[in-house]
């Protein structure tokens, strides 16, 4: 997922990052500025003390260098009463620098005058302590600024994305029966208005598409039902002629049966085209539908040495469109009858499932995972690759499950489970 966080969270996080980044830059600038200012003040103090001591020594050569908790002074060469110059600073050049004596950090100033070298050291312990306190203060400042920025950002983000949420709500309320929505007029002419305009155009195209689909469905329904009714009527008239040969009557019966099946199939497909099942129908008797389907397709076995075993162990009732249920049952039965040359076809119905097993040609292992794909046809298939994909769609519609177990050359078993998959 490219965008794993909500828009509100991303806006708040960006605002908090900017606030924290700006406060961090300010804190770093304050810290560096305070350190630089402190070092300049120390250097100015050392310079003033150095000038004062050199002036006193010029007036009184026996004047001792400063020796306080903050300032230490040395001269070279030194007199008998003067402190001994530490080796750590004896060879330091003229100018300013840092030095550590006995674990204490000092700022060092070295200067020459009249053949005498003067050394002044400023104790930086207090200055470093102040720097540490300042660093802690600035860290707390940065953390507080980031938290305040995040809180303000969350509040602002909610107000900023409110128009986006309103647009999403308006789009979500659109349904196929009322697809027309005037969105552009309710939003400003900015990026959000452009998005609303794009949604409005898409909804209008969708409305036009729905109108075309409904018109097509109605036309196809009428244009299919009319010729099928004519075929069925003509077949019924032909069957009333008792003088016709038995072979002709069998052919006419098959024509009438095919026309009836086509009418039921078109009704079922139109039902599948609807977004939702109305659910207002009597429960379908699965056992009756199975028996009728087996009798309708028994002719597919012909004279082949195939034994048909039909086991009705229960008579479950399902709240489903009988036409759609017949499509599922007929596909499973027809496939077993068509692809079984010898052996047995066993159909078993119990309270929760329908099992159709055979000793037919079976399905190759590499094709077993593709049989429910639309328009997929196996090498031995005689259909158009629609039957099992339609079966899968019907099962998904009602929450049923359909599974196939097959071994090439040894047969196939189809299991239709009527319980919802969540059970």
- Residues 105-128: pLDDT tens digits? 999 999 988 888 999 999 988 888
Dist CA 320 CA 397 (whole Å): 10
Q: What are the pLDDT digits (tens) for 267-307?
A: 767 766 665 555 556 788 999 999 999 998 888 888 889 99
Torsion angle of C-alpha atoms 78, 79, 82, 88, degrees rounded to 10: 20
Name, in order, each residue with C-beta under 8 angstroms of 250's C-beta and a sequence gap of 6 or more: none
pLDDT at 382: 52
Q: What are the two backbone dihedrals, phi and then psi, of residue 422, each rounded to the nearest 5 degrees?
A: -70, -20
Three-state secondary structure call for residue 165 = helix
Mean residue pLDDT across the chain: 82
Query: What percent of the chain is modeled with pLDDT above 90?
Result: 21
First vs last C-alpha separation in the chain:
30
Q: If you write DSSP's letter for every residue of 295-333 in order, what string do you get? A: HHHGGGGTTSSEEEEEEE----EESS-HHHHHHHHHHHH
pLDDT digits (tens, 9 = 90+) for 207-233: 777 777 777 777 766 677 778 888 888
* 372 contacts 388 by C-beta, under 8 angstroms: yes
Would you tell me how many other CB atoms lie within 10 Å of the CB of residue 396?
A: 12
- 349/404 Cα distance (integer angstroms): 16
Contact 76, 117 (CB under 8 A): yes
Structure tokens at 337: 């009858």
Residue span(s) of the chain under CATH 1.10.287 come to: 174-275
pLDDT at 222: 67
Residue pLDDT, tens place only, 326-356: 889 998 998 899 889 999 999 999 999 999 9
Q: How large is the angle between the packed helices 191-239 and 162-172, nearest 10 degrees?
A: 10
Looking at residue 297, what is its pLDDT? 86
User: Which ranges in 162-285 belong to alpha helices (H)?
Assistant: 162-172, 191-239, 246-273
pLDDT at residue 375, rounded to an integer: 59
Q: Is the pLDDT of residue 79 over 80?
A: no
Please list the residue range(s) of the chain that carry CATH number 3.30.565.10: 277-417
Integer Cα distance of 138 and 150 in angstroms: 18
- Provide the 10 A C-beta neighbour count for residue 281: 11
H-type helices in 240-285, by residue range?
246-273
Residue 243 has pLDDT above 90, yes or no: no
Q: pLDDT confidence of 1, banded at 50, 70, 90?
A: very low
The pLDDT-based confidence of 257 (bands split at 50, 70, 90) is confident
Q: Are 167 and 195 in contact (CB under 8 A)?
A: yes
Question: What CATH number does the domain located at 174-275 have?
Answer: 1.10.287
When comparing pLDDT for 404 and 16, which is higher? 404
| Element spanning 358, H or E | strand 353-358
Architecture of domain 277-417: 2-Layer Sandwich (3.30)
Whether the pLDDT of residue 11 is over 80: the answer is no
Q: Is 266 a residue whose pLDDT tops 80?
A: no
* 346 Cβ contact partners less than 8 Å away, ≥ 6 residues apart: 309, 311, 355, 356, 357, 358
């Amino acid at each position: 997922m490219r965008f794993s966080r909500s828009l509100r969270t991303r806006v708040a996080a960006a605002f908090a990052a900017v606030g924290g980044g700006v406060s961090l830059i300010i804190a770093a600038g304050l810290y560096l500025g305070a350190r630089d200012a402190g070092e300049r003040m120390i250097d100015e103090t050392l310079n003033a003390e150095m000038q004062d001591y050199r002036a006193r020594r010029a007036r009184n050569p026996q004047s001792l260098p400063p020796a306080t908790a903050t300032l230490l002074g040395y001269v070279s060469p030194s007199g008998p009463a003067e402190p001994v110059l530490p080796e750590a600073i004896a060879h330091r050049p003229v100018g300013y620098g840092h030095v550590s004596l006995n674990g204490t950090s000092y700022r060092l100033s070295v200067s020459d005058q009249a053949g005498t070298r003067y050394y002044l050291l400023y104790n930086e312990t207090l200055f470093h302590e102040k720097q540490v306190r300042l660093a802690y203060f600035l860290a707390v400042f940065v953390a507080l600024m980031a938290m305040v920025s995040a809180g303000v950002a969350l509040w602002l983000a909610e107000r900023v994305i409110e128009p986006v949420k309103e647009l999403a709500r308006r789009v979500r309320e659109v349904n196929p029966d009322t697809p027309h929505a005037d969105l552009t007029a309710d939003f400003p002419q900015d990026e959000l208005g452009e998005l609303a305009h794009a949604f409005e155009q898409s909804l209008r195209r969708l409305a036009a598409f729905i109108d075309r689909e409904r018109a097509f469905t109605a036309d196809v329904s009428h244009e299919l039902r009319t010729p099928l009714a004519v075929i069925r009527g003509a077949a019924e008239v032909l069957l009333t002629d008792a003088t016709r040969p038995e072979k002709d009557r069998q052919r006419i019966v098959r024509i009438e049966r095919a026309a009836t099946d086509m009418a039921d199939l078109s009704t079922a497909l139109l039902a599948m085209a609807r977004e939702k099942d109305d659910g207002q129908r009597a429960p379908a008797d699965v056992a009756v539908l199975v028996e009728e389907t087996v009798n309708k397709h028994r002719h597919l076995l012909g004279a082949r040495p195939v034994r048909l075993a039909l086991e009705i162990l229960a008579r479950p009732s399902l709240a489903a469109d009988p036409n759609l249920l017949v499509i599922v049952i007929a596909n499973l039965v027809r496939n077993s009858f068509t692809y079984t040359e010898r052996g047995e076809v066993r159909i078993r119905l119990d309270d929760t499932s329908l099992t159709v097993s055979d000793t037919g040609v079976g399905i190759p292992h590499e094709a077993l995972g593709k049989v429910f794909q639309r328009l997929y046809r196996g090498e031995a298939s005689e259909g158009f690759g629609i039957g099992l994909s339609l079966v899968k769609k019907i099962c998904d519609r009602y929450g049923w499950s359909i599974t196939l177990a097959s071994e090439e050359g040894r047969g196939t078993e189809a299991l239709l489970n009527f319980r919802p998959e969540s059970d």
